[in-house]
Amino acid sequence: MTPTWTPDNMPDLKGKVVVAFSHWIADTHLPNSKGLGIHTVKHLAKHGAKVYCGARSKERFDKAQQQLLEEDTKFPQDRLIFLKLDLGNIEGVLEAVKEVKAKESSIHILINGAGMATSQSSKKSEWDEVMTVTCAEKTSDVRVVSIASNTPGIFLPKNYEFGLTTPACFHKVVPYYPWRWQYLLSQFFGMDMVHYSIAKVATMLFVEGLQQRVDERNLPILCLSLNPGGVATDGAEDILKPLFRPLLRVGRLTPNQGSYHSLWAATAKEPRQGFGKFKGNYLEPVGVVTTQHPVMDDEKQHQGLWDATTAEVNRYLDSRGLGSLLEWK
């Protein structure tokens, strides 16, 4: 697939503040990064945005910046700002939120490539306050972009019985394995694609739930989940057993091209102009609204996951003496 939209079509992002968090740099094998995240933040910075890059390691962040400078000596490295962020450490997440809030009054774009629950990590009013202030701006265009996948439609039967309605789903993600996986597909893959697909379903359901709640508060925030496409990254090749990995090298996007869909969702005019069409939805490249699995229309699983996530996060926060999440009002 050749992208029909490129970063050349991006608008001027001067004055925009972006927070990008994922394994975009922490798990990068330098000096030659093959991940999507580094290309995503590269294009955002080149078009004028100030980008807070959530990562665990300052050393790797510095090396990634150096890599970008070697690729382009005019790269505006001052627009990439290291934000110490280990998503496995809730205290560290809260500190990162406080740091951004102390430096910025607005956040315009949030790119989440690391899972579904992190947007709830700010249990106090930091997230709420900054987003509300941003939405009040005359030129407000706030977007939350989460990276998902088309794997649920491939590895999970349409009648798959999910178990997302209780906190137990976080300890036993896979309630059972479809026969097709057990006896056929598992022979080709070195990664548990059923587990991965259920996690991506949870991401898409979370995005829908987040959109519903910002809509109820009349906040013009656009929440999207998307598939970046078939990208030739190290991680993508690792999902297959070594014998079959050459199959993934045929007709794949480069990691740079793989960043285009996220950039389109975060910056292009079409998602904002078609707000009613795109909000809360999952997109295939580029900008094609798709129902990846019938569970996306299952209100019981939808509400159950949100309630289960809230209960589990509150349990964890209470165990660390951090109180509970604020209620959505």
Q: Examine the residue annotation and report whether 58 is marked as an active-site residue of this protein.
A: no
Which pLDDT score, from 0 to 100, does residue 34 have? 53
Active-site choice (196, 260, 279, 282)? 196
Which pLDDT score, from 0 to 100, does residue 317 have? 85
**Where residue 215 falls among pLDDT bands split at 50, 70, 90?**
very high
**Where residue 152 falls among pLDDT bands split at 50, 70, 90?**
very high
Name the phi and psi angles at 304, rounded to 5: -60, -40
Q: Inform me whether the pLDDT recorded for 276 exceeds 80.
A: yes
Q: What is the DSSP pairing of strand 288-290 with strand 282-284?
A: antiparallel
**Where residue 35 falls among pLDDT bands split at 50, 70, 90?**
low
Q: Inform me whether the pLDDT recorded for 102 exceeds 70.
A: yes
Pairwise CA distance, residues 129 & 100, whole Å: 12
Pairwise CA distance, residues 301 & 319, whole Å: 26
**pLDDT, averaged across the chain:** 82
Q: Inform me whether the pLDDT recorded for 224 exceeds 90.
A: yes
Task: Beginning with the edge strand found earlier in the chain, give each strand of the sheet holding 17-21 in spatial order.
Answer: 80-84, 50-55, 17-21, 109-112, 143-147, 222-226, 282-284, 288-290
**Where residue 116 falls among pLDDT bands split at 50, 70, 90?**
very low
**Where residue 234 falls among pLDDT bands split at 50, 70, 90?**
low
Active-site choice (16, 42, 50, 200)? 200
Q: Inform me whether the pLDDT recorded for 252 exceeds 60.
A: yes
Closest CA to 146 of 297, 315, 292: 292
Pairwise CA distance, residues 183 & 185, whole Å: 7
DSSP string, 154-181: HHS-TT----TTSGGGGT---S---HHH
Q: Inform me whether the pLDDT recorded for 140 exceeds 90.
A: no
Q: Inform me whether the pLDDT recorded for 32 exceeds 60.
A: no
Q: What does the block give as tokens for 232? A: 């030739």
The domain limits of the chain are 12-148+199-297
DSSP string, 36-91: HHHHHHHHHHHTT-EEEEEES-HHHHHHHHHHHHHH-TT--GGGEEEEE--TT-HH
Q: Examine the residue annotation and report whether 158 is marked as an active-site residue of this protein.
A: no
Looking at residue 210, its amino acid is L
Which pLDDT score, from 0 to 100, does residue 36 have? 75
Query: Using omega within 30 degrees of 0 as the cis cutoff, is the peptide bond preceding 31 cis?
Result: yes
Kind plus residue range of the DSSP H or E element containing 289: strand 288-290
By mean pLDDT, which of 50-54, 256-260, 285-289 is the weakest?
Answer: 256-260
Q: What does the block give as tokens for 262? A: 């996220």
The residue assigned the tokens 């987003």 is 131
Which pLDDT score, from 0 to 100, does residue 10 have? 93
Contact 110, 119 (CB under 8 A): yes
Pairwise CA distance, residues 236 & 307, whole Å: 32
CATH class of segment(s) 12-148+199-297: alpha beta
Residue 317, C-beta contacts closer than 8 angstroms, at least 6 positions apart: 90, 123, 323, 324, 325
Closest CA to 81 of 54, 119, 112, 111: 54
Q: Which residues of 270-298 are buried (b: 16+ CB within 10 A; e: fewer)?
A: ebeeeeeebbbbbbebbbeeeebbebbeb
